[in-house]
Structure 1
C-alpha cells in the first residue's frame, strides 16, 4: 500500500514538474522544475529496484547538467523577448513535428505486445539475491571491461580537445612572467624615491 502511494506521488510530481518546466516563462524557474522532476524520477527508479539509475539521475543530471544549465542561464545576459519571438516564428513547424512524433508513439504502442519472461534465455541470468549495483559492477568490470575503458578514453579525448580548442593565446593582455621577474637583477630595477605630484615617471 505504501509503495503504491509513493509510486502515484512520484509519478504525479514528475508529470507536474515536467509540464511546469515547459510552461514556466522564467528560465530559472524552468530549471528548478526540471531538477524536481529528476529527483522524483530517481524516487521511481528506487521503487522498481534500479538504485544505480537513481544515483545517476541525482549525481549526473541534477548535480552536473541541471546545475550547469542554472548557472549558464543566471550568468549569461540573454534577451528572452527575442528568443520568444523566434519560438513563435517556428511554432507551426514545431507543432507538426510534435504531431508526427505523437503519431509514431501511438503506432508503436499499438503494435507492441508482451509475452512471458524467458529467464533461461537471457544473455546473463542474474541471481535475485545479488543487488542491482553489484550486478552492474560485475558486468562492467568483467565482460565489458575494455568497452568501459574505451568509453572513458573517448571522454578524456573529448575533454582534452575542448581545452585545446578553447585555450588561445591573446595578444595585448597584461600578464605576469614569473620566471622573468625572478631572473631580474637588482641594478636593472626602476626606483622612484621622490615622485612629484602631477608628473609621470620617465624610464
Structure 2
C-alpha cells in the first residue's frame, strides 16, 4: 500500500490489508472481531476514503518528492517494530501457546457472548469511561468546527412562533379590471 504510485490503488491495497487482518482474527477464533473489522473498516471507512481520494486532485509529483529522504527513518522504525514482534511472539508469556484451540472450547461457546459478558461485567467502568471520552471528543470536534457564517441564512424558530396573523397577512382591496 505504501509503495503504490496511484492513491486509488493504495486505498484498494489498504482494503486488502483490512481483509487480511480480518482473516487473522478468524484464525484466532475471534469471528465477531473479524466481521466487525470487515464491516466497519472495509464497508464504511474505506468507502469514504475512496470517495475522498477520487474526488481530490492529488499532485503525485509533490507527494513523491520527500519519499527517499524519509526512507532511512522509516526503515529504522520498521526494523524496531519487527524486533518488538519477535520479542513479544517469541517470549513464553505472550506466545501463541496461550490461545485456546477449538477443541478446548465447550459446546455452545460463543466468543461474541463472552466478549459482551466481559465488557459489561469485568470491564464496565473502563468501557463507560471510554464512551464518555469519545462523547466529549465528538462534542469538542463539533464545537471546534462550528462557525457562524454571515452568508448563510438561518431561521429563528422563536420569531416564527411569535408572529401574529396581522404581521404576515395583508388584505389588499383592488378594483376589478375591465376588458
Q: TM-score, normalised by structure 2?
A: 0.70
Gaps of 5+ in 2: 171-179
1:85 aligns with 2:65: yes
Q: 1:158 aligns with which of 109, 118, 137?
A: 137
Cα distance 1:158–1:142, how it changes in 2: closer, same or farther (>3 A)? same
Number of matched residues? 160
The equivalent of 2:120 in structure 1 is 141
Q: 1:175 aligns with which of 144, 153, 161?
A: 153
Deviation of 1:166 after TM superposition, in Å, equals 0.3
CA RMSD of aligned residues (A): 3.3
Q: How much does 1:139 deviate? A: 1.0
Between 158-167 and 106-115, the greater mean CA deviation after superposition: 106-115
Give the 3-state SS of the residue equivalent to 2:148 in structure 1. coil
Which residue does 2:53 correspond to in 1?
A: 73
Post-superposition offset of 1:46: 2.4
Residues 27, 54 of structure 1: CA spacing in aligned structure 2 closer, same or farther, 3 A cutoff?
A: same
Q: Following the alignment from structure 1 to structure 2, what is the Cα–Cα distance between the partners of residues 30 and 42?
A: 18
* Distance change (3 Å), C-alpha of 1:54 and 1:109: closer
Deviations 1:145-176 (A, max 9, x none): 22212211111111111000001112x41414
Query: Structure 1's 173 and 108: CA in aligned 2 closer, same or farther, altered over 3 A?
Result: same
Measure how far apart 1:76 and its partner are: 2.8
Q: State the Cα deviation string for residues 123-154 of structure 1 (Å, max 9, x = none).
A: xxx96332111111111112222221221111
TM-score relative to the length of structure 1: 0.63
The gaps in structure 1 that reach 5 residues or longer are: 1-20, 120-125, 189-203
